[in-house]
Amino acid sequence: MAKYTSIGGQALIEGIMMKNPQKKTAMAVRKPDKTIDISFIEHKSIKDKIKIFKLPVLRGIVTYIETMIQGYKAMMKSADISGFTDIEEEKDKPKDEKKQSAFTAVIMTVGTILGIALALVLFLGIPRYAVQGIEWLAGTPFSKVVRSGIEQLLKLAVLVLYMWGVSFMKDIHRVFAYHGAEHKTIFCYEAGLELTVENVKKQKRLHPRCGTSFLILMILVSMIVSTVVQMIFPGVYDIAWLWITAKILMLPLICGLGYELLKICGKYDNLLTRIISAPGMWLQKITTKEPEDDMIEIAIAALKACDEIEDTKPEEETENNDDI
């Protein structure tokens, strides 16, 4: 019997994280010896402590921030478990290696900061100045709606080109294949079918509740919010640094509204939700790939663990209960 669930997931390095908000979050990762490591992630949301953050829009902002943090930690842990990096416990390392580890942590932090700065330039700075250049070439200023529309289309173009470019990298291609396995497994579970590799392989790999769709929805919502802000504050767009600052300040609202749209599209299947979901579904053709059988096994193991389905792990699998 088909059913709607709020189970979501994330592709990791040689693994998948599955999250059931009502039960638990689990990640399954393929170890170098080909066995599957399953670990459970303890996560206490601020929404459980401060009830106001459960309200529409606000819950989207909180969920986005918490998901980013949890996803980053899970990705780093999967890199360790899978053998992608040779990370040892700090207490077992010689003094010189500890210094090297600290230096690596600093480099990763700097890299993250630079990555955020690059994202701001690509998705906020370049579209803003590009629209200005197009207006100069056209010899006339555009209306607020046209201006916002062009800016969001440029953002979409940058996003698609970026995703398409990185998809050719071997490691990223494998992560995208695990992404496909995640979607197919959730579809199989929601269809009420037995979670087997053969059943999962028959499912679609494009899911309307995917984070990729969320990125597209944010761009669409950004267009509407930006137009409204320009109508309320007509002069803000003419000052480039002020407009970029305003766009950054608008991000929480845009995230919150995008999250609500994503939930609606994931819960209902009608003409309107299909139209809203279509751009994100198209982009998923880049961010998801057809998985291999062993990838599907990982997705099944993660989903069974997070939903407390019996027979969670075959005998040869090992368990690691260390929380992230």
The residue ranking higher by pLDDT, 95 or 145, is 145
144-197 residue pLDDT tens: 778 778 887 888 888 888 889 888 999 899 999 999 999 999 999 989 899 999
Whether residue 324 is contained in a domain is answered as: no
Q: Is the dihedral of CA 12, 21, 310, 204 positive or negative?
A: negative
What per-residue confidence (pLDDT) applies to 21? 74
Q: Return the pLDDT at 316.
A: 39
Confidence of residue 295 (pLDDT cuts 50, 70, 90): very high
Banded pLDDT at 318 (limits 50, 70, 90): very low
Q: Give the pLDDT confidence score for residue 104 in this predicted structure.
A: 47
Distance separating alpha carbons of residues 292 and 296, to the nearest angstrom: 7
Q: In this structure, what are the phi and psi dihedrals at residue 200, rounded to the nearest 5 degrees?
A: -65, -40
Residue 276 lies in a domain: yes
Residue 2 domain-assigned (yes or no): no
- Within a domain: 83: yes
Could you tell me the pTM of the whole model?
0.74
Residue 36, number of CB atoms within 10 A of its CB: 23
Q: What is the pLDDT of residue 17?
A: 94
Within-domain flag for 249: yes
For 195-242, what is each residue's pLDDT tens digit?
999 999 999 998 877 878 787 788 888 888 888 888 888 888 778 788
C-alpha torsion angle, residues 200, 13, 72, 305 (rounded to 10): 40
- For residue 183, being part of any structural domain is answered with yes
Percent of the chain topping pLDDT 70: 81
Alpha-carbon span 281 to 208, nearest angstrom: 7
**What pLDDT is recorded for position 113?**
56
Q: At 37, is the pLDDT very low, low, confident or very high (cuts 50, 70, 90)?
A: very high
In a domain, 1, yes or no: no
Check pLDDT > 90 for residue 97: no
Establish if 50 belongs to a structural domain: yes
Q: Which residue has better confidence, 77 or 311?
A: 77
Number of domains into which the chain is organized: 1
pLDDT recorded at residue 11 = 92
What is the residue range of 103's domain? 8-319
Q: What HEC string does the chain produce?
A: CCCCCCCEEEEECCEEEEECCCCCEEEEEECCCCCEEEEEECCCCHHHHCHHHHCCCHHHHHHHHHHHHHHHHHHHHHHHHCCCCCCCCHHHCCHHHHHHHHHHHHHHHHHHHHHHHHHHHHHHHHHHHHHHHHHHHHCCCCCHHHHHHHHHHHHHHHHHHHHHHHCCCHHHHHHHHHHHHHHHHHHHHHCCCCCCHHHHHCCCCCCCCCHHHHHHHHHHHHHHHHHHHHHHCCCHHHCHHHHHHHHHHHHHHHHHHHHHHHHHHHHCCCHHHHHHHHHHHHHHHHHCCCCCHHHHHHHHHHHHHHCCCCCCCCCCCEECCCCC
Sign of CA dihedral 311, 75, 59, 281: negative
Residue 122's pLDDT band, with cuts at 50, 70 and 90, is low
Of residues 245 and 22, which shows the higher confidence score? Answer: 245
pLDDT over 90, % of the chain:
23
